[in-house]
């Protein structure tokens, strides 16, 4: 690290267990973030602020006025602009040293393999089951750690899966692809604005710790949070031996 980086990340370097090697791991890392909306906004801001060297941002949508209640990465002046372009502008202003690659495409079986060849870790900040299952399957196949979260209404949940770790579960162990589950979009149910911030920041924090070699408190755990009562739970998640995605992994 150069002198400017030592100054920028000085408050990290004062932490117990967080040294220059840990910070350099962040500087050298490439992270794919799927979704630049409610969850992706705070997650991306903290990943950039913390010094992740390369952020790949995938989102096919454009900024809408209704997004601004919670999607803090975007501004009213950028309504109608692609979310990935808006994200790149905001992140570059926050930390010019971070390289941002906008990907205005949907994350699916055709796009994810190529993206994951470059990524060290993935954050799933999407808002639908189809994308979550596609991201999960691609991460398991490519052996990439996945930090996942979801939030709607007053409730949020999150977990981290690492297919390189023995017996690690995956998203499909918790939500089988064959299950008939209806998406619960914010457009119908609403969402408490700070809730997506809390979940997205949690995703970013666990991703940063994992990348820095400090482990993750969400590994093999499902975090459940009620934004109205502030009640939270941590439930253990085990690999399902019959899981169609990861059940046959060693």
The residues annotated with a catalytic role in the active site are 186
Distance CA 213, CA 211 (A): 5
Pull the structure tokens for residue 98.
């971070």
Residues in the chain: 250
Give the three-state DSSP class for 174: helix
Strands in 94-145 per DSSP E: 99-103, 121-124
Angstrom distances, CA of residue 83 to CA of 25, 72, 102, 250: 27, 11, 9, 39
Its sign, for the CA torsion 11, 125, 71, 110, is positive
Strands, E, within the chain: which ranges? 30-34, 54-58, 99-103, 121-124, 146-152, 155-161, 221-226, 232-236
8 A C-beta contact, residue 182 and residue 197: no
DSSP code at position 96: T
Determine the Cα–Cα distance for residues 113 and 27; give it in Å rounded to an integer: 23
Nearest CA among 28, 23, 1 for reference residue 119: 28
């Amino acid at each position: 690290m150069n002198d400017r980086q030592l100054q920028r990340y000085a408050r990290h370097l004062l932490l117990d267990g967080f040294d220059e090697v840990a910070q350099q791991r962040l500087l050298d890392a490439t992270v794919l973030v799927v979704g630049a909306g409610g969850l992706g906004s705070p997650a991306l801001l903290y990943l950039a602020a913390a010094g992740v060297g390369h952020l790949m941002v995938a989102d096919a949508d454009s900024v809408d006025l209704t997004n601004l209640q919670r999607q803090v990465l975007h501004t009213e002046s950028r309504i109608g602009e692609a979310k990935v372009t808006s994200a790149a502008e905001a992140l570059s202003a926050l930390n010019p040293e971070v390289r941002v690659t906008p990907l205005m495409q949907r994350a699916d079986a055709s796009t994810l393999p190529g993206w994951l060849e470059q990524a060290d870790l993935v954050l799933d900040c999407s808002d639908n089951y189809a994308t979550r299952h596609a991201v999960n399957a691609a991460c398991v196949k490519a052996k990439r750690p996945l930090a996942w979260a979801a939030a709607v209404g007053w409730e949020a949940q999150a977990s981290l899966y690492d297919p390189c770790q023995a017996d690690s579960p995956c998203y499909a162990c918790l939500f089988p692809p064959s299950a008939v589950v209806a998406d619960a979009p914010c457009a119908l149910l609403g969402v408490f604005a700070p809730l997506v911030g809390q979940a997205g920041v949690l995703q970013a924090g666990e991703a940063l710790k994992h990348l820095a070699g400090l482990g993750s408190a969400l590994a093999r755990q499902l975090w459940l949070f009620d934004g109205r009562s502030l009640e939270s739970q941590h439930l253990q998640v085990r690999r399902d031996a019959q899981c169609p995605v990861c059940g046959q992994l060693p």
